[in-house]
């Protein structure tokens, strides 16, 4: 795709990756993604913000065809989907200097072998004059690496935010046209990589509150012509109270755990609690991550296999522990054949979750009346706790 004009002398460049389905060999990308770079031509200096994946440099090269001089390349984030082509850009423009945060410099030297003399490091709040345009660099660490920063183009009130506010969507829309679709994709992105750092990201949001922003230009997905939409969404995800929602990842091998799950969900619904269930044998793990953003309670459903939880449940529990959602309660339900240490093993896997553990319900073999009664009591307890906490 050719470069696209955002405003006079400001252009989108990059690559729309319609076919990519996995990021970091981990994160599902059901809607593809894009790697956005931006060119700003000031009256005196020209700057490229970020780049594209290493193997996509040729695409960027075509877009840069008519750019005879580049004074600066800015790397807002050292991860290779944005920095991978920077060594090639610097080869094409040997006089260009690479502007980074102080932390990013070492990371880019390690990751990409960029020589030290290429760098200019900027401190938090430092500005760079391009002549008639001015870039201000604002440190916004842990979105989702420690070195991340954003850049604010003062005269045009554009925030170049890199991963911050990004969404993995391949689209020909330069700007967001369908906010509901982008909301889901951005929430998925937040849930998968930023949720564990939400306390720091909250401070970053507070830091940006004093800036007059008319456009947010992220490095994945379309630009935001109405920044309050995505800023308010992040505020809710980060700092809003958990919702009246039970998230229930589970596996069943011979249908006993499934019977428990079905009964339990019905009991919760009757008591006014919403539920999102995820069969870990088939689920898109990103959907589970999205649900965890809002969960008031997590209930894990697992059979006992090889004396412990099912391996797929181990994966789900590891993920939940790593993502550190704001859920306040947790329980476990499931079936076993003759014994095992399912509860102890799972409980030991979630030290990061600051939750109150509610008495698990495990049954031997197929669930009987007493087990269904115990599940009903568990549902009642959760409903009462959600009410007590005022979860909506």
Residue 224: which of 266, 268, 185, 276 has the closest Cα?
Answer: 185
Nearer to ligand FEO, 137 or 189 (CB): 189
Residue 79 or 294 with smaller CB distance to ligand FEO: 79
Q: Are 325 and 195 in contact (CB under 8 A)?
A: yes
- Count of beta carbons in the 10 Å neighbourhood of residue 232: 10
- Asked if 77 interacts with ligand FEO (CB under 6 A), we say yes
The nearer residue to ligand FEO, 188 or 220, going by C-beta atoms, is 220
Residue from the set 79, 147, 294, 371 that interacts with ligand FEO by CB under 6 A: 79
Whole-angstrom CA distances from 371 to 301, 331, 332, 346, 367 are: 14, 15, 13, 20, 6
Residues 92-151 binding ligand FEO (CB under 6 A) are: 144
Q: Smallest gap, in angstroms, from Cβ of residue 349 to ligand FEO?
A: 26
Interface with ligand FEO includes 188 (CB under 6 A)? no
Classify 128 as helix, strand or coil.
strand
Which segment (43-51, 75-83, 286-294, 372-380) binds ligand FEO by CB under 6 A? Answer: 75-83
Cα separation values, 174 from 148, 220, 265, Å: 24, 11, 42
- Closer to ligand FEO at the Cβ: 12 or 250? 12
Q: Which of the stretches 77-85, 178-186, 320-328, 363-371 binds ligand FEO when contact is defined by CB under 6 A?
A: 77-85
Residue 53 lies near ligand FEO (rule: CB under 6 A): no
What the block records as the tokens of 343 is: 């509860």
Nearer to ligand FEO, 82 or 326 (CB): 82
CB of 82 to ligand FEO, least distance (A): 6
By the rule CB under 6 A, 163 interacts with ligand FEO: yes
CA separation for the pair 16, 10 (Å, rounded): 18
Cβ 285 to ligand FEO shortest distance, Å: 18
Q: Whole-number minimum distance, CB 79 to ligand FEO, in Å?
A: 4
189 HSE (CA, 13 A, CB side): 28
- How many residues contact ligand FEO, by CB under 6 A? 8
Distance CA 345, CA 388 (A): 30
Residue among 189 and 250 whose Cβ is closer to ligand FEO? 189
Least Å distance between CB 211 and ligand FEO?
Answer: 22
Per DSSP, the residues of 52-105 read --GGGHHHHHHHTTT-----EEE-S--SHHHHTTHHHHHHHSTTPEEEEEHHHH
Kindly tell me which of 81 and 294 has the beta carbon lying closer to ligand FEO.
Answer: 81
The reply to whether 326 sits near ligand FEO by the rule CB under 6 A is no
Is there binding between residue 59 and ligand FEO (CB under 6 A)?
A: no
Any contact of residue 17 with ligand FEO (CB under 6 A)?
A: no
Taking CB under 6 A as the binding criterion, the range among 78-86, 134-142, 237-245, 376-384 that sits at the site for ligand FEO is: 78-86
The only residue of 82, 105, 188, 386 in contact with ligand FEO, by rule CB under 6 A: 82
CA distance 275 to 297: 10
Cβ 182 to ligand FEO, closest distance in Å?
A: 16
Nearest to 332 by CA among 244, 261, 254, 242: 261
Q: What span, in angstroms and rounded, lies between the C-alpha atoms of 342 and 344?
A: 6
x/- binding map, residues 191-220, to ligand FEO, per CB under 6 A?
A: ----------------------------xx
C-alpha span between 179 and 298 (Å, rounded): 28
Interhelix angle for 311-323 vs 285-294, to 10°? 50
Positions in 218-237 near ligand FEO (CB under 6 A):
219-220
Contact 330, 356 (CB under 8 A): yes
Shortest Cβ distance from residue 203 to ligand FEO (Å)? 19
- CA gap 82, 160 in Å, rounded: 13
- Using CB under 6 A as the criterion, which residues of the chain lie in contact with ligand FEO when the complex forms? 77, 79, 81-82, 144, 163, 219-220
């Amino acid at each position: 795709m050719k470069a696209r004009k955002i405003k006079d002398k400001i252009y989108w460049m990059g690559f729309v990756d319609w076919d990519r389905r996995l990021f970091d060999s981990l994160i599902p990308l059901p809607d593809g993604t894009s790697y956005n770079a931006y060119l700003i031509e000031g009256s005196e200096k020209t700057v490229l913000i970020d780049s594209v994946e290493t193997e996509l440099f040729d695409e960027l090269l075509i877009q840069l065809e008519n750019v005879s001089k580049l004074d600066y390349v800015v790397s807002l984030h050292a991860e290779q989907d944005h920095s991978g082509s920077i060594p090639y850009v610097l080869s094409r423009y040997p006089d260009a200097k690479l502007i980074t945060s102080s932390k990013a410099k070492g990371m880019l030297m390690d990751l990409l072998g960029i020589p030290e003399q290429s760098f200019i490091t900027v401190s938090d709040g430092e500005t760079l004059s391009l002549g008639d345009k001015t870039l201000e660099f604002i440190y916004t660490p842990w979105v989702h690496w420690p070195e991340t920063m954003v850049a604010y183009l003062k005269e045009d009130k554009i925030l170049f935010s890199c991963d911050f506010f990004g969404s993995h969507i391949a689209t020909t829309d330069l700007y967001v046209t369908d906010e509901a679709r982008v909301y889901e994709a951005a929430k998925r992105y937040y849930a998968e990589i930023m949720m564990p750092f939400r306390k720091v990201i909250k401070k970053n949001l507070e830091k940006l509150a004093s800036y007059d922003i008319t456009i947010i230009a992220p490095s994945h997905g379309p630009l935001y012509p109405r920044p309050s939409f995505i800023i308010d969404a992040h505020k809710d995800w980060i700092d809003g109270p958990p919702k009246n929602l039970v998230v229930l990842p589970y596996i069943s091998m011979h249908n006993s755990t499934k019977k428990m799950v079905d009964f339990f969900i019905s009991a919760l619904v009757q008591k006014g609690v919403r539920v999102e269930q995820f069969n870990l044998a088939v689920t898109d793990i990103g959907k589970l991550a999205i649900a965890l953003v809002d969960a008031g309670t997590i209930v894990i459903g697992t059979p006992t296999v090889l004396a412990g939880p099912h391996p797929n449940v181990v994966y789900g529990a590891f993920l939940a522990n790593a993502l550190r959602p704001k859920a306040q309660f947790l329980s476990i339900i499931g079936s076993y054949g003759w014994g095992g240490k399912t509860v102890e093993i799972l409980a030991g896997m979630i030290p990061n979750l600051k939750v109150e553990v509610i008495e698990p319900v495990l049954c031997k073999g197929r669930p009987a009346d007493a087990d269904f009664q115990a599940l009903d009591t568990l549902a009642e307890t959760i409903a009462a706790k959600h009410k007590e906490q005022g979860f909506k």
